Structure 1
Amino acid sequence: MFLTHSVDRSSSRSLDKEVVHPEKAPLESRESLEKRLVRKIDIRMSMLVVIFILNFIDRSNAAVARLRGFEEDLGLTGAQYPTVLSIFFVGYILVMVPSNMFLNHIGRPSVYLPACTILWGVVSLLTGQQYLIFTGALLCRFFLGLIESSFLPGALLTLSAWYKSDELGLRNCLLFCGLLVSTAFGTLMASGILDGMEGKLGQAAWRWLFYIEGSATIVIAIPAMFILPDFPNHPSSAKWLTPEELELAKARMTEENESTKNTQVTKREGLMMALRDWKVWWLCLCTTGYQLSICYNQFLPTLLQTLGYSRLTTLILCAPPAFVSAVFTFYVARHSDKTKSRFAHIAASLFLSILGFMISMVTMNQGARYFAIFLMFLTMGGWVTLLAWVTNSISSPSPKRAVALGLTCACSQLGSLAGSYVFPKQWGPTYRNSYGISIAAATLTMIMCFIFRLHLAELNRKANQHGKDTFKYIV
């Protein structure tokens, strides 16, 4: 399915006359052309959302399988199950930066990302094989993380290659709505598999979960190769854009980066520029703290099981908080882009999640604890905004941004790695200590983001004082 829009020939001839250089085009003709261009980009980028759904389903199916004998069948004891979860993030962290540097070098997300998707689908499928033991589960989870790590920073880099800074918040939101949909849709699909596939062909239901979801990932990745766009400067982009649209796409990025001295640099120079920029490291700490504060999502079925419902009902109850969070995240992203404000939206999301953690700490009432889960899930609105802030705050050239995005995404997974041990069974069913850690992480992240906002505001103030009509940071 080729998601391109036909263009009326007469309007195309008119555009040939009016839009030779998009940056100099009359306002109305440029606006019309830009709307059509962005619409085309949006349609093709929608494939990233589909892949992200599969990405999160494949990484989280171990948490779902736990409800139907995953631990018992593999003979996992003590800290072995958390280790199976955490080893995923070790692989995830290792190759994020080099993966993004490689993608930036080849400029072909349409080939690289679907190829990685096929590979992690194969690994996910193998996780369900019958002779798996603890060591095999560790290896499968490690390689799953190693391969999946290509997607998120690669997707963010691809978005930043096509969209302007005031468009990124919404697009990041739509991407992460895939994560929320995967939480809702994935658990509903898993409930059907676990309920209906037990004993089929002599296999446990949790093994079918890996077989079916891994196979679905492989199948979906194939059409993605023909839908995802490559970077604007790659020759393949001319196949689905008119010459005027392609020229405008390049001009938009040139205008976006002209004040940040977007000169040609090597991969090594881009790496060193990112490593020397303290903002990159500060944002790494912010994303690490944020991920630690939302580590509850690794244990969502386990936390909902404390409400006392059946396994099937527990999985179904995972869906409503994710749907509500998707709506909230969409609103936050739109409002953040419209007001050009990042910190306020991040802080509001973290504050709501802290309320949820506090409610869960002080009561075992079913209704109150389920309501608290809804509040916790609202944190996703702030996470999406934080990632947009990272992209906005790290200036070009492209090799530097590729490294910075890979580095911040990699460091954020240190929070997920630590979070794998935050909800041990012995702290249940109240998990007061776990929620206390989440509150501390959320509070610290909020403080660090506030300090970062003050710094960016000061940089903008100094630029205004000197009368510089240059790049302004979004705060």
Structure 2
Amino acid sequence: MEISEQKNNASIDIALDNGKELKTTKSQFLSQFTAEDDRQIMRKVDRRVLLLMGIMYLLKQIDFSNAASVKVLQVGLPSNILNELHMSTNDYNWTQTIYYIGLVIFEVPSNLVLKRVSPHKWMTRIFLSWGIVVACHAAIQNKAGFYALRFLLGALEAGFFPGLAAQMCSWYRSDEYGRPIMWMFAFQNCAGIIGSLLVYGISYMNGVGGLSAWRWIFLLEGLVTILFCPAIYFILPDYPKSPSSSKWLTPEEQEYLELRLSDNAPRAADPNFSLKEILNSLKDPKMYLFTASQFLLNIAGYGLSWQLPTITTSLGFASLPRNQLLNIPPAAATVIGIIIAARVMRWAIMTRPLFCQLLNGIALIFFIVLCVPVNPGATYAACVLGTAFYYVYFIPFWAWRSSSLVGATGTAFAIALQTALAQIGGIIAPQVFQSKYAANNYRVSFIICTACAAAAMVSNQILWYLSRDVEGDVLQVRRHRIAAERDGRVWTGEDVKLSSAR
């Protein structure tokens, strides 16, 4: 799909409520809307999309992170999961690795089905199937059963994040993309707060009905996920010009939402499958650099997240089960940081690559702190802030990525392939924290994480050079749109162009 001036000024036929048709150009049509009109329309979109999407991500993250939390539940007691399933800590690390193997294998196929089936139906299927698998964790009797269910969980969850990320490209411009990503990641990290409180509360159910506390956690969280599925099916919208969107948007609003997007954005009228868009994505060197950056940081960030409950428990600040509450500050700091990052992006203070490098550099400092002998307070502070800056980094990162995605198939494929390959970092991360490194507080593990974070900065620097023109356009257009909004107008000037269309 090429961006051209002809497409920007093409004649548009719009069916109005009174049955008449308006023939106009894109810029003429957009100029009929005021800044207040834009705010009202986007508020309707936000109300329909953001809260639902945030709750979806909250439930997903609670279901994902419970495996790390239950590892230290009733630790040292017969009812601890390691004792009941006769697993060592190294055996348990494989549960996370196997989960990511399932995710990596099925991420791309799942996302390519998204448009053909429709997002709301496919997301409902994903939620329902993984909720059932989470609930089935309560019946595990040995490590083989645990491994099998973790693989199924990854395989059935595949397509969730890349599917939502691709879908949001149809509703939000690249310079606004930080907003939906902020909601996803903020709710994801609220899961750290809510999940820790849930684990703490459910820990007192140990022995109820003859079930250990960790079994109750999996069972109850899986049932909640299953019960939430009807909300996804009936509320989650597909695309601005999908038939279901006409129930809550007028024809003019539907047209406006599509026309305000840059021309590379996916649309309802795009074909369900385009081999050309897939091949173009594979030819783009930025695909591999974005993937490398995400992969490297995932080793560092996922490793820290996976080991966080174990590290905080070992510091001796709280006894069982209050040790679970030590996982709340990292999540709270992350949520605050994510909100601040989204605000900074909205103000168009700096380019997104520069913002990414600053966040990556600060996260790197805290990983370095974890590599050297420091007191427990400094270790805990580094865990809190290292976790926060790792997650905050992905707010500008995914917004930066969205500006080089093209078409419905190209967007779905590129995000899915990048996510799948980058999730190999999740396969590796738990293995970096093997028990043999525990004697020196996992210093070797954190040296590996630090090296990965540093290498990610190198990949980002090359990416910044390759995307400098597009990112310069994004910053300037965002500033034009801010100025027009102050004057009560909608910006209708020249939009962002991909480098290939210059």
**CA spacing shift, 1:351–1:326, aligned 2, 3 Å:** same
Q: CA deviation at 1:469?
A: 7.6
> Partner amino acid for 2:205?
M
* In structure 1, distance between residues paired with 2:345 and 2:444: 33
**CA spacing shift, 1:376–1:263, aligned 2, 3 Å:** same
* In structure 2, distance between residues paired with 1:265 and 1:73: 48
> Partner amino acid for 1:117?
F
3-state DSSP of counterpart to 1:362: coil
3-state DSSP of counterpart to 1:67: coil
Give the number of the structure whose residues are more often helix, by fraction: 1
Is the Cα–Cα contact under 8 Å of residues 350 and 382 in structure 1 kept in the other structure? yes
Q: 2:158 aligns with which of 139, 149, 159?
A: 149
* In structure 2, distance between residues paired with 1:18 and 1:145: 48
Structure 1, unaligned stretches of length 5 or more? 1-11, 463-467
* In structure 2, distance between residues paired with 1:32 and 1:349: 34
> Partner amino acid for 1:201?
G
**CA spacing shift, 1:74–1:460, aligned 2, 3 Å:** closer
2:52 alignment counterpart? 47
* In structure 2, distance between residues paired with 1:19 and 1:186: 53
Q: 1:66 aligns with which of 56, 59, 71?
A: 71
2:6 alignment counterpart? none
335-344 vs 38-47, which moves further: 335-344
- Pairs aligned (count): 450
* In structure 2, distance between residues paired with 1:266 and 1:18: 31
1:8 alignment counterpart? none
1:101 alignment counterpart? 112
1:280 aligns with 2:287: yes
Alignment of 1:53-92 (within 5 A): 53-68=58-73, 69-77=80-88, 79-92=90-103
2:128 alignment counterpart? 118
Q: 1:31 aligns with which of 35, 43, 46?
A: 35
* In structure 2, distance between residues paired with 1:354 and 1:187: 26
2:146 alignment counterpart? 137
Is the Cα–Cα contact under 8 Å of residues 290 and 383 in structure 1 kept in the other structure? no
1:443-470 deviations in Å (ceiling 9; x for gaps): 00011101110122267899xxxxx986
1:103-145 deviations in Å (ceiling 9; x for gaps): 1333x2222112210110110000111x521111111000100
* In structure 2, distance between residues paired with 1:215 and 1:258: 36
Q: 1:193 aligns with which of 202, 213, 233?
A: 202
1:174 aligns with 2:190: no
1:169-204 deviations in Å (ceiling 9; x for gaps): 12211111111111121111111111x110000100
2:407 alignment counterpart? 397
1:4 alignment counterpart? none
2:171 alignment counterpart? 162
* In structure 1, distance between residues paired with 2:22 and 2:180: 29
1:267 aligns with 2:274: yes
2:260 alignment counterpart? 252
Is the Cα–Cα contact under 8 Å of residues 265 and 397 in structure 1 kept in the other structure? no
1:420 aligns with 2:418: no
1:291-313 deviations in Å (ceiling 9; x for gaps): 11202111211111121132322
* In structure 2, distance between residues paired with 1:258 and 1:72: 51
Is the Cα–Cα contact under 8 Å of residues 122 and 215 in structure 1 kept in the other structure? yes
Is the Cα–Cα contact under 8 Å of residues 89 and 435 in structure 2 kept in the other structure? no
1:52-83 deviations in Å (ceiling 9; x for gaps): 11111111111111112111111113632111
* In structure 1, distance between residues paired with 2:246 and 2:446: 51
Is the Cα–Cα contact under 8 Å of residues 437 and 443 in structure 2 kept in the other structure? yes
* In structure 1, distance between residues paired with 2:230 and 2:265: 37
* In structure 1, distance between residues paired with 2:152 and 2:138: 14
**CA spacing shift, 1:252–1:312, aligned 2, 3 Å:** same
Is the Cα–Cα contact under 8 Å of residues 356 and 373 in structure 1 kept in the other structure? yes
TM-score if structure 1 supplies the norm length? 0.88
2:357 alignment counterpart? 347
Is the Cα–Cα contact under 8 Å of residues 284 and 411 in structure 1 kept in the other structure? yes
* In structure 1, distance between residues paired with 2:38 and 2:470: 31
> Partner amino acid for 2:295?
T
Is the Cα–Cα contact under 8 Å of residues 460 and 472 in structure 1 kept in the other structure? no
Alignment of 1:374-393 (within 5 A): 374-377=384-387, 378-393=389-404
Is the Cα–Cα contact under 8 Å of residues 170 and 330 in structure 1 kept in the other structure? no
1:377-414 deviations in Å (ceiling 9; x for gaps): 222111222122211222x1221111001011111101
Is the Cα–Cα contact under 8 Å of residues 21 and 247 in structure 1 kept in the other structure? no
* In structure 1, distance between residues paired with 2:72 and 2:259: 52
3-state DSSP of counterpart to 1:406: helix
**CA spacing shift, 1:400–1:450, aligned 2, 3 Å:** same
Q: CA deviation at 1:247?
A: 1.5
Is the Cα–Cα contact under 8 Å of residues 114 and 222 in structure 1 kept in the other structure? yes
Q: 1:238 aligns with which of 211, 222, 246?
A: 246
Is the Cα–Cα contact under 8 Å of residues 120 and 233 in structure 2 kept in the other structure? yes
3-state DSSP of counterpart to 1:399: helix
1:234-256 deviations in Å (ceiling 9; x for gaps): 21111111121111112223x44
> Partner amino acid for 1:63?
A
* In structure 2, distance between residues paired with 1:372 and 1:172: 25
1:337-376 deviations in Å (ceiling 9; x for gaps): 4326212221222222222222222235221111111221
1:184 aligns with 2:184: no
**CA spacing shift, 1:267–1:469, aligned 2, 3 Å:** closer
Q: 1:300 aligns with which of 308, 333, 338?
A: 308
* In structure 2, distance between residues paired with 1:341 and 1:52: 27
**CA spacing shift, 1:22–1:238, aligned 2, 3 Å:** farther
* In structure 2, distance between residues paired with 1:265 and 1:226: 22
> Partner amino acid for 1:81?
Y
1:471 aligns with 2:497: yes
Structure 2, unaligned stretches of length 5 or more? 1-15, 74-79, 474-493
**CA spacing shift, 1:102–1:420, aligned 2, 3 Å:** same
